[in-house]
């Protein structure tokens, strides 16, 4: 993993697209472990991604290469002002 104390980490929120991350910020999965009762029990750090100086993180939720942006926000016409929040993966469907 990159150790870049001389680098300034930055996250830029683009108007209708991804988060642009610069400065060699390390990126890793965060895994929710489900207990025997079917409820989220704890979180564990998952595998990391290869170090990159910069990358674009999907903000629209439609990328087929998550967590990275692959351009789907353009074809769906993503706009943060009309986007609906997505449910956490373990949230029940009760109404």
Among 20, 27, 72, 83, binds ligand FES (CB under 6 A): 72
Q: Does 83 bind ligand FES (CB under 6 A)?
A: no
Contact range with ligand FES by CB under 6 A, out of 21-29, 37-45, 69-77, 87-95: 69-77
Site string for ligand FES, 18-57 (x = CB under 6 A): x---------------------------------------
For residues 78 and 60, is the Cβ–Cβ distance under 8 A? yes
Question: In Å, how far are 8, 23, 78, 92 from 63, measured between CA atoms?
Answer: 27, 23, 11, 23
User: Strand, coil or helix: what is 72?
Assistant: helix
Within 8 A by CB and 6+ apart from 30, the residues are 43, 44, 45, 46
Binding site for ligand FES (CB under 6 A): 17-18, 58-60, 62-63, 69-73
């Amino acid at each position: 993993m990159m150790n870049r104390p001389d680098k300034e980490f930055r996250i830029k929120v683009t108007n209708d697209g991804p988060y642009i991350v610069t400065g060699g910020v390390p990126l890793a999965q965060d895994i929710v472990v489900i207990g025997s009762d079917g409820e989220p029990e704890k979180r564990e750090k998952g595998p990391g991604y290869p170090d990159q100086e910069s990358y674009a993180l999907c903000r629209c939720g439609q990328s087929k290469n998550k967590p990275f942006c692959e351009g789907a926000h353009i074809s769906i016409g993503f706009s943060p002002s009309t986007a609906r929040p997505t449910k956490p993966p373990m949230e029940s469907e009760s109404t």
